[in-house]
Structure 1
Amino acid sequence: MFNNFLRTNKIAMWLLTVIRVYLGYQWIEAG
């Protein structure tokens, strides 16, 4: 049910995308 909510909620999708990109960038910066 939660996954379906994320799929239908574009705001949640954007937030997850931003968080993933941010964490990925931090990980690359940390080396």
Structure 2
Amino acid sequence: MMDQILADLIARTALGAGITLVLLICAFKGERL
């Protein structure tokens, strides 16, 4: 049970980090263009 909660937390964190990274890259490219 605990492993499932931990896995879900890691997945959410990775997803959030990925979205943040994509937004930062888009903003950076937008400023450069």
Structures share fold, TM-score greater than 0.5: yes
Determine the structure 2 residue equivalent to 1:14.
16
Structure 2 regions of 5+ residues with no counterpart? Answer: 1-7
TM-score normalised by length of structure 2? 0.69
- The one-character-per-residue Cα deviations of 1:1-31 (angstroms, maximum 9, x if unpaired) are xxxxxxx500000000000000000000000
Of all paired residues, the percent bearing the same amino acid is 8
Larger Rg: 2
Cα RMSD, aligned residues only: 0.9
Structure 1 regions of 5+ residues with no counterpart? Answer: 1-7
Structure 1 stretches of at least 4 aligned residues deviating more than 6 Å after TM superposition: none
TM-score normalised by length of structure 1? 0.73
State the number of aligned residues.
Answer: 24
Determine the structure 2 residue equivalent to 1:29.
31
